[in-house]
Amino acid sequence: MNRLKSLWLKLSKNRKLRCGGFSVALTITVVVLVMLLAALFDGLEQRFALQMDFSFNSATTQGEITRNALRQLEKDIKIYAVVPATGGDEDLLSLLNRYAAASGHVTVTEENLLKNPVLQNQFTDAAGTRYVTDDCLIIHCPETGLSRILTPDDYIYRSYNMETGYFDQTLISYEKAVTEAILYVALDSVPAIQILSGHRELAQDQTAFLEQNLADANYRVVRVNLAAGDELNPEDPLMLLSLQYDLTERELNQLMDFARAGGDFFVTAKYDDPLDLENYNALLRAYGIEAYPGLVVAKEGDRAGYYADYPVILMPSMQETDVTRPLLSAGENILLVTEARAFRVSGIQPEGVMAYPLLMTGEAYLRQSVSGDDTVEQQPGDPEGRFAVSMWSDQMFENGAVSHMFVLGDSNVFTDYWMQLNTSSTAFLLQVIHSLQEKEAVSLDIIPKPAQRESLNLGNITPAVIVTVMLPLLVLLGALLVLLPRKNL
């Protein structure tokens, strides 16, 4: 003990060691303080999202619509950002941190499938057609059990560049996609669309794009088989997609009970679907609608009535009605109807029914006998004129309930992916669903932001740009004014 005390006294009297030790201690103290401050500010940044958004499009800044939605959020939401090993989208991750900072109900974690492969089997999307992969977002509400899986296609818009031959990113909508997904998974009751099955209708693999479109619009899709004992919900529209077998008497009665309770119908058919389905036709006639036999073919002289050189691919005109008026105002009226069936108002209109066309062809004819060897060229006796390939009907019952029916003579409008990309079919689908259901799923008016900075030109120079450019020049000018008179000193 005495030896240690003696050694300490010698060391403390050594000036070099005393000064050097002080320097080392001071350095260690400063390093520790800097690390503690860095950890403190990093925690504050994650908790309060203090980092400024200097991006040209404010991609990581939330709007007032999102802030209001987060203030009203009452359920816990977990967001899993699944990022590849090479790293994720920094703008998107920064925006997600702002969600967590803005609401105590939102938590965000970054995940990697190599480290946490369980995620792949833990979550499924509403339509059941999306799976957890690298570079996706999982938005999940434990209380409701609902999940949404978002991929870059949900928030990055691309357009074809004629000069380069590639698709360029044009718009991004991180905020709209994420906020709508949060509100969707927090819903106690999700708006649903029912699809009738059991009559060899379009199979689930044929309706995959349709169902995904509905799920993307925050609707839940439910398949209903009446013969198996399933029940219909009058609050949710029922889709009848190209029936090949007839309804039974019992099923027809169930559908009419559904209608009398205010239930609505969404019907599609193809020109070659059976015409002798007695009970199915009775359902259509109950809404004042009858189907024409045959294939609708545009006349070659009416070039505006069909696409390219294919007179069986119709470009119908959208009629101005309460259903279509929002589409016409927005310019969402470009549709292609392929190998279509036509409809007409039935000769005897049931009481309380009003049926009218939504889509009309140009000059056309009905090729009534078409098989693999038959030509689609007009034959003597083929009816000609302008035909309705889509109709709408309102029916009011004695109990005061109002039921609607939408009919379209083609299923490809809503089930074909190319149609969804290149025509107004998605907007048409959602507008029809909204008109049937008379209530919207989660849909927010958040404007997408540009994905690429505009080229600088005199037309788009803003005051902020002027200040950014002029301020360094003014500093340089001031420095020259001070230094030049002193150059000979």
CATH of the domain at 80: 3.40.30.10
**332 and 427 housed in the same domain:** yes
**What's the mean pLDDT in 229-237?**
95
Q: Which residues contact 336 (CB under 8 A, 6 or more apart)?
A: 307, 313, 314, 315, 413, 419, 423
CATH number at residue 433: 3.40.50
Q: Which residue segment(s) compose the domain that 24 sits in?
A: 13-48
- Count the domains in the chain: 3
| Range of lowest pLDDT (92-101, 153-162, 361-370) | 153-162
Which of residues 425 and 153 earns the better pLDDT score?
425
* 404: in domain: yes
Quick: pLDDT tens for 10-32.
655 555 555 555 555 656 776 66
* 58: in domain: no
**36 and 162 housed in the same domain:** no
Residue 43, both tokens: 């925690």
Phi-psi region of 287 (alpha: psi -120 to 50; beta: other; left: phi over 0): alpha
* 277: in domain: yes
* 405: in domain: yes
**30 and 119 housed in the same domain:** no
**86 and 201 housed in the same domain:** no
**327 and 203 housed in the same domain:** yes
* 419: in domain: yes
Q: Residue 63: CA atoms inside 13 Å, Cβ hemisphere, count? A: 15
Which of residues 314 and 32 earns the better pLDDT score?
314
Report pLDDT for 101: 87
* 353: in domain: yes
**148 and 258 housed in the same domain:** no
In degrees and rounded to multiples of 5, residue 223 shows phi and psi of -95, 135
- Looking at 437, 463, 478, which one is the last position of a domain? 437
Quick: pLDDT tens for 45-65.
555 445 555 565 566 677 888
**SS3 per residue for 149-175:** EECHHHHEEEEECCCCCCEEEEEECHH
* 56: in domain: no
Q: Is 216 helix (H, G, I), strand (E, B) or coil?
A: helix
The span from the CA of 422 to the CA of 418, in Å, is: 6
* 295: in domain: yes
**What's the mean pLDDT in 251-258?**
97
Report pLDDT for 160: 63
**342 and 374 housed in the same domain:** yes
- Looking at 169, 200, 228, which one is the last position of a domain? 169
Would you say residue 339 has pLDDT above 70? yes
Residue 97, both tokens: 């941190």
**243 and 357 housed in the same domain:** yes
The span from the CA of 105 to the CA of 186, in Å, is: 11
For residue 347, give the DSSP letter.
Answer: S
**330 and 421 housed in the same domain:** yes
**144 and 274 housed in the same domain:** no
Look at strands 136-140 and 77-82 and give their pairing. antiparallel
